[in-house]
């Protein structure tokens, strides 16, 4: 079964720690340097949502995670991640590397906006003393760059499009806009929400002023590319103040305090077998004192003191979880073949887990697994309650489901 198709985009000003965040989340090694524009070509990888595995809830001794991992009862569910080049103010006018590379994020479902909460990089990404630059201003400018990028796409040939819609007798206007913007992952529900939020639901498209189109674009970006603010470099002096200011200034966006550098160091130490640490944990445990030199010990102590003890975690896992489970409101569903043993055809216990949007029905799930299953769907079995459910059954988080279809494949 294919892995989840959720795409998490990592964006932000240049030199704030985007690639560090990406490297920590995906354990891929990518270029990280303390200078602007280290990343030019996008980095693509797989990160994970962490969620208690349903095998624990069901009282089973273990599972046979296959399309995901299960670490001592914590299911790590893959999501695609993309790290792109950095932005600077005015990128949409061609400054820095411009904003064309955001096109790589056309299909992103959610954006992690990484900012330097410590204010130790100026608008151009040049290192400065902590507290010099205002992270609130940074978020405003970065959101503006993302909005300008979207506006550039939507406004292209806009008047021709509006004439077609208004004079061509198009009944489903939101549908027509969604179709036009489908390359950006825009769905009709997003358009309807954006029309309402900008008060343009009943106004003919050709009568919109450029200002109204701009307002609509901002709302469409909010609906189709929601943002989680990652207040990075929380380990540095001044970052706490920066974080508090961010929370105050952007009540409409989740703000997650984070130290991508700390997470990267912990994952590397864990991989090397020096510590025990799971992404998202509030602490780590040294397993092999003998392999820790004074310097490494000092680094780990500083991470514990300045990040974990103070903020509860490095924030990297929390940011991904927040983006996927809260902002996108995805739930976990486990398809099985045998609803009594919770196994697939090969006898593996709960091998697969899928992230699906809340509200997904049993039949829609069948389609996601295989078109044949969707087309010839008969009924499903809720393996937890052993109840038979119909096609319109709305899935709940941690459901274990067997799908029965005429042309059943599983
Ligand atoms: N103190 C501290 N430094 C960090 C943190 N995260 C990243 N850095 C440092 O910030 C600098 C830039 O990191 P990158 O990950 O290359 O930043 P980027 O946003 O990808 O930069 P570009 O690709 O050049 O736009 C490096 O020196 C990192 O070590 C953090 O949480 N704390
Ligand atoms: Mg980078």
Whichever domain contains 368, its CATH number is 3.10.20.30
Residues 238 and 352 both lie in one domain: no
- Based on the number of CB atoms within 10 Å of its own CB, is 296 exposed (0-12), middle (13-18) or buried (19 or more)? middle
For residue 20, which atom of ligand 1 is closest to its CA? Answer: 15
Query: What's the length of the chain?
Result: 410
**How far from chain centre, in Å, is Cα 302?**
28
Mutation to probe ligand 1, out of 9, 15, 36, 257 (largest number of atoms < 8 A from CB): 15
Tell whether 183 is covered by a domain: yes
Same domain (yes/no): 61, 199: no
Cα of 31 from ligand 1 centre, angstroms: 10
Q: What is the per-residue pLDDT across 223-249, written as a single tens digit (0 to 9) for each?
A: 999 999 999 999 999 999 999 999 999
The predicted-structure confidence for 169-191, as pLDDT tens digits, reads as follows: 888 999 999 999 999 999 999 99
- Considering the domain architecture, whether residues 156 and 251 belong to the same structural domain is answered as no
The tens digit of pLDDT for each residue in 254-295 reads 999 999 999 999 999 999 999 999 999 999 999 988 888 899
**Of 16, 10, 27, residue with least CA distance to 266:** 27
Tell me how far the alpha carbon of residue 268 lies from the centroid of ligand 1, in angstroms.
16
* Strand-pair category, 275-276 with 285-286: antiparallel
Ligand found nearest the CA of 16: 1
Q: Do 214 and 289 reside in the same domain of the chain?
A: no
Q: What is the pLDDT of residue 4?
A: 52
Q: Which residues contact 149 (CB under 8 A, 6 or more apart)?
A: 92, 99, 102
Whether 178 maps to a domain, the answer reads yes
Expressed in angstroms and rounded, the spacing between residue 141 Cα and the centre of ligand 2 is: 18
pLDDT in tens, 313-346: 999 999 999 999 999 999 999 999 999 999 999 9
- The per-residue pLDDT of the chain, averaged, comes to 95
- β partners of residue 30: none
- Of 188, 223, 258, which one is at a domain's C-terminal end? 223
Ligand nearest to the Cα of 235, by number: 1
Q: Which residues line ligand 1 (CB under 6 A)?
A: 14-20, 32-34, 36-39, 86, 232-233, 235-236, 259-261
Taking every pair of C-alpha atoms in the chain, what is the biggest distance, in angstroms? 77
Question: Can you give the residue range of the structural domain that contains 160?
Answer: 150-223
Domain check: are 15 and 49 in the same one? yes
Instruction: Indicate whether 1 belongs to any domain.
Output: no
| Separation CA 371–CA 377 (nearest Å) | 10
Give the nearest ligand 1 atom to 31 CA.
16
Report phi then psi at 42, rounded to 5.
-65, 145
Check residue 336 and give left, alpha or beta (phi > 0: left; psi -120 to 50: alpha): beta
Distance 42 CA to ligand 2 centre (A): 9
- 248 and 115 in a common domain: yes
Nearest bound ligand to the CA of residue 266: 1
Distance between CA 216 and CA 205 in Å, rounded?
A: 11
Distance CA 123, CA 369 (A): 46
* Whole-angstrom distance, CA of residue 165 vs CA of residue 350: 49
Residue 142 covered by a domain = no
- The answer to whether 223 and 194 have CB atoms below 8 angstroms apart is yes
Of 306, 325, 344, the last residue of a domain is: 325
For ligand 1, atom 13, name the residue with the nearest CA.
17
Phi, psi of 323, rounded to the nearest 5 degrees: -60, -45
Residues 62 and 127 in one domain: yes
Structural domains of the chain, count: 3
Same domain for 159 and 202 = yes
Last residue of a domain, one of 325, 348, 363: 325
Q: Domain holding 116: CATH number?
A: 3.40.50.300
Report the distance separating Cα 40 and Cα 407, nearest Å: 47
Residue 291 is predicted with a pLDDT of 85
Helices 173-180 and 188-197, packing angle to 10 deg: 110
Q: Looking at the structure, do residues 111 and 25 belong to the same domain, yes or no?
A: yes
């Amino acid at each position: 079964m294919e892995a989840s198709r959720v795409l998490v985009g990592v964006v932000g000003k240049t030199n704030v720690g985007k690639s560090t965040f990406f490297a920590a989340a995906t354990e891929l090694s990518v270029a990280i340097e303390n200078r602007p524009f280290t990343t030019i070509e996008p980095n693509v990888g797989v990160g994970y949502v962490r969620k208690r595995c349903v095998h624990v809830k069901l009282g089973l001794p273990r599972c046979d995670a296959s399309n995901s991992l299960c670490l001592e009862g914590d299911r790590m569910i893959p999501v695609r991640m993309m790290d792109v080049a950095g932005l600077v103010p005015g990128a949409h006018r061609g400054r820095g590397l411009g904003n064309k590379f955001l096109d790589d994020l056309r299909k992103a479902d959610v954006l992690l906006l990484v900012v330097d909460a410590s204010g130790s990089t100026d608008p151009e990404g040049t290192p400065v003393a902590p507290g010099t630059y205002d992270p609130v201003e940074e978020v405003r400018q970065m959101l503006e760059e993302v909005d300008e990028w979207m506006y550039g796409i939507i406004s292209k040939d806009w008047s021709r499009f509006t004439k077609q819609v208004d004079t061509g007798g198009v009944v489903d206007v939101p549908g027509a806009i969604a179709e036009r913007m489908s390359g950006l992952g825009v769905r009709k529900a997003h358009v309807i929400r954006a029309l309402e939020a900008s008060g343009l639901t009943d106004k003919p498209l050709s009568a919109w002023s450029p200002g109204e189109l701009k307002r609509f674009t901002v709302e469409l970006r909010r609906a189709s590319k929601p943002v989680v603010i990652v207040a990075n470099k929380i380990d540095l002096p001044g970052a706490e103040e920066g974080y508090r200011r961010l929370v105050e200034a952007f009540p409409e966006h989740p703000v997650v305090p984070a130290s991508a550098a700390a997470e990267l160091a912990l994952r590397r130490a864990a991989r090397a077998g020096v510590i025990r640490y799971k992404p998202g944990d509030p602490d780590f445990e040294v397993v092999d004192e003998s392999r820790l030199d004074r310097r490494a010990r000092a680094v780990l102590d500083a991470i514990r003191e300045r990040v974990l003890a103070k903020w509860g975690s490095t924030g990297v896992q929390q940011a991904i979880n927040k983006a996927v489970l809260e902002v996108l409101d995805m739930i976990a569903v486990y398809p099985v073949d045998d609803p009594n043993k919770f196994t697939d055809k090969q006898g593996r216990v709960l091998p697969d887990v899928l992230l699906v949007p809340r509200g997904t029905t049993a039949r829609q799930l069948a389609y996601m697994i295989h078109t044949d299953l969707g087309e010839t769907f008969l009924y499903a079995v809720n393996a937890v309650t052993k109840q038979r459910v119909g096609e319109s059954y709305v899935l709940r988080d941690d459901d274990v489901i067997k799908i029965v279809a005429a042309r059943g494949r599983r």
